[in-house]
Protein backbone atom coordinates (compact mmCIF):
# COMPACT_ATOMS: atom_id res chain seq x y z
CA UNK A 1 0.00 0.00 0.00
CA UNK A 2 1.21 3.53 -0.78
CA UNK A 3 2.47 5.48 2.23
CA UNK A 4 0.25 8.08 3.88
CA UNK A 5 1.38 11.62 3.02
CA UNK A 6 1.79 13.81 6.10
CA UNK A 7 2.41 17.56 6.21
CA UNK A 8 3.75 19.18 9.39
CA UNK A 9 3.87 22.99 9.26
CA UNK A 10 6.65 24.95 10.97
CA UNK A 11 8.75 21.81 11.25
CA UNK A 12 12.32 23.06 10.80
CA UNK A 13 12.88 23.00 14.57
CA UNK A 14 11.29 22.41 17.94
CA UNK A 15 8.29 20.16 18.46
CA UNK A 16 7.40 20.18 14.73
CA UNK A 17 10.75 18.67 13.76
CA UNK A 18 10.36 16.01 16.46
CA UNK A 19 6.84 15.20 15.21
CA UNK A 20 8.31 14.70 11.73
CA UNK A 21 11.03 12.43 13.14
CA UNK A 22 8.60 10.28 15.14
CA UNK A 23 6.07 9.86 12.32
CA UNK A 24 8.77 9.14 9.72
CA UNK A 25 10.08 6.37 11.98
CA UNK A 26 6.72 4.60 11.71
CA UNK A 27 6.10 2.29 8.79
CA UNK A 28 3.76 3.56 6.06
CA UNK A 29 4.30 7.32 6.21
CA UNK A 30 6.02 9.85 3.95
CA UNK A 31 6.45 13.19 5.72
CA UNK A 32 6.62 16.68 4.22
CA UNK A 33 8.64 18.94 6.52
CA UNK A 34 7.07 22.37 6.08
CA UNK A 35 9.28 25.40 6.66
CA UNK A 36 9.18 29.02 5.54
CA UNK A 37 12.93 29.29 5.11
CA UNK A 38 14.41 26.92 2.51
CA UNK A 39 17.85 26.78 4.10
CA UNK A 40 16.49 26.03 7.58
CA UNK A 41 14.07 23.50 6.10
CA UNK A 42 16.69 21.66 4.06
CA UNK A 43 19.09 21.59 7.01
CA UNK A 44 16.37 20.07 9.17
CA UNK A 45 15.71 17.39 6.55
CA UNK A 46 19.45 16.59 6.53
CA UNK A 47 19.28 15.81 10.26
CA UNK A 48 16.76 13.07 9.42
CA UNK A 49 18.78 11.38 6.68
CA UNK A 50 17.57 7.90 5.80
CA UNK A 51 13.99 8.66 6.81
CA UNK A 52 11.14 9.23 4.30
CA UNK A 53 11.10 13.01 4.77
CA UNK A 54 11.25 15.85 2.27
CA UNK A 55 11.22 19.62 2.55
CA UNK A 56 8.12 21.59 1.52
CA UNK A 57 8.39 25.37 1.25
CA UNK A 58 5.51 26.85 3.25
CA UNK A 59 5.14 30.22 4.94
CA UNK A 60 1.73 29.91 6.54
CA UNK A 61 1.34 33.72 6.71
CA UNK A 62 1.69 34.02 2.94
CA UNK A 63 -1.26 33.04 0.69
CA UNK A 64 0.96 32.68 -2.38
CA UNK A 65 3.25 30.32 -0.47
CA UNK A 66 0.24 28.27 0.71
CA UNK A 67 -1.10 28.05 -2.87
CA UNK A 68 2.31 26.97 -4.18
CA UNK A 69 2.62 24.31 -1.46
CA UNK A 70 -0.83 22.91 -2.33
CA UNK A 71 0.17 22.80 -6.00
CA UNK A 72 3.41 20.98 -5.20
CA UNK A 73 1.65 18.37 -3.05
CA UNK A 74 -1.08 17.94 -5.65
CA UNK A 75 1.35 17.38 -8.52
CA UNK A 76 3.64 15.04 -6.54
CA UNK A 77 1.07 13.00 -4.59
CA UNK A 78 -2.46 14.01 -5.64
CA UNK A 79 -3.64 13.87 -2.05
CA UNK A 80 -2.82 14.66 1.60
CA UNK A 81 -3.60 12.09 4.32
CA UNK A 82 -2.51 13.97 7.45
CA UNK A 83 -2.14 17.69 8.23
CA UNK A 84 -0.47 18.84 11.45
CA UNK A 85 -0.99 22.58 11.98
CA UNK A 86 2.10 23.02 14.16
CA UNK A 87 3.63 26.39 13.15
CA UNK A 88 3.07 28.97 15.84
CA UNK A 89 4.44 32.07 17.54
CA UNK A 90 4.52 33.44 21.07
CA UNK A 91 5.24 37.16 20.96
CA UNK A 92 3.98 38.44 24.33
CA UNK A 93 6.59 39.89 26.66
CA UNK A 94 7.73 37.44 29.30
CA UNK A 95 6.64 39.89 32.05
CA UNK A 96 3.20 40.02 30.45
CA UNK A 97 1.41 40.06 33.80
CA UNK A 98 2.37 43.73 33.98
CA UNK A 99 3.09 44.52 30.34
CA UNK A 100 -0.03 43.98 28.20
CA UNK A 101 0.56 43.00 24.57
CA UNK A 102 0.24 45.79 21.98
CA UNK A 103 -2.20 45.77 19.05
CA UNK A 104 0.68 44.78 16.79
CA UNK A 105 1.52 41.75 18.95
CA UNK A 106 -2.14 40.70 19.13
CA UNK A 107 -2.50 41.00 15.35
CA UNK A 108 0.71 39.12 14.53
CA UNK A 109 -0.06 36.38 17.04
CA UNK A 110 -3.66 35.89 15.91
CA UNK A 111 -2.55 36.04 12.29
CA UNK A 112 -0.12 33.13 12.57
CA UNK A 113 -1.74 31.01 15.28
CA UNK A 114 -5.37 31.28 14.21
CA UNK A 115 -5.88 32.95 10.80
CA UNK A 116 -2.98 31.22 9.04
CA UNK A 117 -3.91 27.82 10.51
CA UNK A 118 -7.37 28.39 9.00
CA UNK A 119 -5.97 29.43 5.62
CA UNK A 120 -3.64 26.41 5.45
CA UNK A 121 -6.35 23.94 6.49
CA UNK A 122 -8.85 25.40 4.04
CA UNK A 123 -6.36 25.36 1.17
CA UNK A 124 -5.59 21.68 1.79
CA UNK A 125 -9.23 20.55 2.19
CA UNK A 126 -9.48 19.40 -1.48
CA UNK A 127 -6.33 17.25 -1.11
CA UNK A 128 -7.36 16.00 2.34
CA UNK A 129 -10.68 14.95 0.76
CA UNK A 130 -8.64 12.67 -1.51
CA UNK A 131 -6.85 10.91 1.40
CA UNK A 132 -6.10 7.23 0.76
CA UNK A 133 -8.83 6.06 3.14
CA UNK A 134 -11.11 9.00 2.35
CA UNK A 135 -10.78 9.83 6.05
CA UNK A 136 -7.88 12.19 6.75
CA UNK A 137 -6.37 13.20 10.09
CA UNK A 138 -6.01 16.85 11.01
CA UNK A 139 -4.18 17.93 14.16
CA UNK A 140 -4.17 21.44 15.60
CA UNK A 141 -1.18 22.20 17.85
CA UNK A 142 -2.82 24.33 20.50
CA UNK A 143 -1.94 24.76 24.15
CA UNK A 144 -3.54 24.23 27.53
CA UNK A 145 -3.01 28.00 27.76
CA UNK A 146 -5.94 28.20 25.33
CA UNK A 147 -8.21 26.21 27.66
CA UNK A 148 -11.08 28.44 28.80
CA UNK A 149 -12.21 25.84 31.34
CA UNK A 150 -8.79 25.60 32.95
CA UNK A 151 -8.17 29.35 33.19
CA UNK A 152 -11.72 30.08 34.38
CA UNK A 153 -10.96 27.92 37.41
CA UNK A 154 -9.28 30.07 40.11
CA UNK A 155 -7.51 26.92 41.30
CA UNK A 156 -6.60 25.90 37.75
CA UNK A 157 -3.18 25.43 36.17
CA UNK A 158 -1.19 28.55 35.19
CA UNK A 159 -3.10 30.80 37.65
CA UNK A 160 0.14 31.43 39.55
CA UNK A 161 2.40 31.64 36.50
CA UNK A 162 4.55 34.78 36.33
CA UNK A 163 3.14 35.59 32.87
CA UNK A 164 -0.33 35.94 31.38
CA UNK A 165 0.53 35.83 27.65
CA UNK A 166 -2.81 37.43 26.71
CA UNK A 167 -2.26 37.39 22.94
CA UNK A 168 -0.87 33.84 22.85
CA UNK A 169 -3.59 32.40 25.12
CA UNK A 170 -6.41 34.10 23.22
CA UNK A 171 -5.01 32.98 19.85
CA UNK A 172 -4.88 29.36 21.01
CA UNK A 173 -8.47 29.56 22.33
CA UNK A 174 -9.40 30.84 18.86
CA UNK A 175 -7.51 27.96 17.28
CA UNK A 176 -9.51 25.48 19.39
CA UNK A 177 -12.77 26.97 18.09
CA UNK A 178 -11.41 26.85 14.55
CA UNK A 179 -10.76 23.12 14.98
CA UNK A 180 -14.35 22.64 16.18
CA UNK A 181 -15.65 24.48 13.11
CA UNK A 182 -13.86 21.88 10.96
CA UNK A 183 -15.24 19.11 13.18
CA UNK A 184 -18.77 20.40 12.54
CA UNK A 185 -18.14 20.79 8.82
CA UNK A 186 -16.94 17.21 8.34
CA UNK A 187 -19.13 15.53 10.95
CA UNK A 188 -20.28 12.11 9.83
CA UNK A 189 -17.64 11.88 7.10
CA UNK A 190 -15.01 10.05 9.14
CA UNK A 191 -12.45 12.85 9.38
CA UNK A 192 -10.45 12.78 12.61
CA UNK A 193 -9.86 16.37 13.71
CA UNK A 194 -8.18 16.73 17.09
CA UNK A 195 -6.38 19.31 19.20
CA UNK A 196 -3.11 18.69 21.02
CA UNK A 197 -1.35 20.38 23.92
CA UNK A 198 2.30 19.32 23.75
CA UNK A 199 2.92 20.47 27.33
CA UNK A 200 5.53 22.97 28.50
CA UNK A 201 8.50 21.90 26.38
CA UNK A 202 11.94 23.49 26.11
CA UNK A 203 12.00 25.21 22.70
CA UNK A 204 12.86 28.62 21.24
CA UNK A 205 9.18 29.57 21.65
CA UNK A 206 9.62 29.85 25.42
CA UNK A 207 13.34 30.70 25.45
CA UNK A 208 14.11 27.15 26.49
CA UNK A 209 12.28 27.51 29.82
CA UNK A 210 9.96 24.50 29.45
CA UNK A 211 10.83 21.46 31.57
CA UNK A 212 9.57 18.88 29.03
CA UNK A 213 11.61 17.09 26.38
CA UNK A 214 10.93 17.30 22.64
CA UNK A 215 10.30 13.56 22.58
CA UNK A 216 7.49 13.88 25.15
CA UNK A 217 6.21 17.12 23.59
CA UNK A 218 5.65 15.44 20.23
CA UNK A 219 4.14 12.21 21.55
CA UNK A 220 0.42 13.07 21.74
CA UNK A 221 0.45 14.93 18.42
CA UNK A 222 1.99 11.86 16.77
CA UNK A 223 -0.70 9.65 18.33
CA UNK A 224 -3.41 11.95 16.94
CA UNK A 225 -1.75 12.27 13.52
CA UNK A 226 -1.51 8.51 13.11
CA UNK A 227 -4.95 7.49 14.45
CA UNK A 228 -6.56 4.66 12.53
CA UNK A 229 -9.92 5.05 10.82
CA UNK A 230 -11.87 4.23 13.98
CA UNK A 231 -9.85 6.76 16.00
CA UNK A 232 -11.26 9.63 18.04
CA UNK A 233 -12.31 13.00 16.72
CA UNK A 234 -13.21 16.35 18.31
CA UNK A 235 -10.89 15.88 21.30
CA UNK A 236 -8.61 18.34 23.13
CA UNK A 237 -5.89 16.40 24.88
CA UNK A 238 -2.31 16.13 26.10
CA UNK A 239 -0.22 13.02 26.66
CA UNK A 240 -1.66 12.65 30.18
CA UNK A 241 -5.26 12.64 28.88
CA UNK A 242 -8.21 14.93 28.02
CA UNK A 243 -8.18 18.68 28.75
CA UNK A 244 -11.09 20.96 29.66
CA UNK A 245 -12.24 23.10 26.72
Ligand X SMILES: NC(=O)c1ccc[n+]([C@@H]2O[C@H](COP(=O)([O-])OP(=O)(O)OC[C@H]3O[C@@H](n4cnc5c(N)ncnc54)[C@H](OP(=O)(O)O)[C@@H]3O)[C@@H](O)[C@H]2O)c1
Q: Which residues bind ligand X (CB under 6 A)?
A: 9-10, 12-16, 36-37, 40, 58-61, 86-89, 112, 141, 143, 197-198, 200-201, 203-206, 210
Three-class secondary structure of residue 82 per DSSP = strand
Q: In the complex with ligand X, which residue's Cβ is closer, 59 or 81?
A: 59
Q: Which is nearer to ligand X, 26 or 239 (CB)?
A: 239
Q: Is 146 helix (H, G, I), strand (E, B) or coil?
A: helix
Task: Please count the residues of the chain.
Answer: 245
**Maximum Cα–Cα distance across the chain:** 55
- Angstrom distance (rounded) from CA 121 to CA 6: 13
CB hemisphere CA count around 83 (13 angstroms):
33
Report the distance separating Cα 78 and Cα 9, nearest Å.
19
Q: CB of 196: closest distance to ligand X in angstroms?
A: 8
- Residue nearer to ligand X on the CB measure, 16 or 136: 16
User: Smallest distance from the beta carbon of 60 to ligand X, in angstroms?
Assistant: 4
The DSSP element (H or E) to which 139 belongs, if any, is strand 137-141
Shortest CB 38 distance to ligand X, Å: 10
Could you tell me whether strands 192-196 and 236-238 are parallel, antiparallel, or unpaired per DSSP bridges?
A: parallel
Q: Which is nearer to ligand X, 88 or 136 (CB)?
A: 88
Q: CB of residue 41 vs ligand X: minimum separation in angstroms?
A: 8
Reduce the DSSP state of residue 180 to 3 states and report it: helix
204: three-class secondary structure by DSSP: helix
* Of 31 and 135, CB closest to ligand X: 31
> Would you name the residues annotated as active-site residues?
143, 172
Residue 175: exposure state from Cβ atoms within 10 A (0-12, 13-18, ≥19): buried
Shortest distance, position 42 Cβ to ligand X, whole Å? 13
Amino acid sequence: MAPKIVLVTGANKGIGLEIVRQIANKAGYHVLLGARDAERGQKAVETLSGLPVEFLSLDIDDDASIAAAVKTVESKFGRLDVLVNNAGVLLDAWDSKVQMATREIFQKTFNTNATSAAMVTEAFVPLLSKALTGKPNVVFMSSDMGSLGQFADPEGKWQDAPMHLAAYRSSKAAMNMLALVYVARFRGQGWRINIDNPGYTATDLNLGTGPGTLEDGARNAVRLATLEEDGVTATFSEKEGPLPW
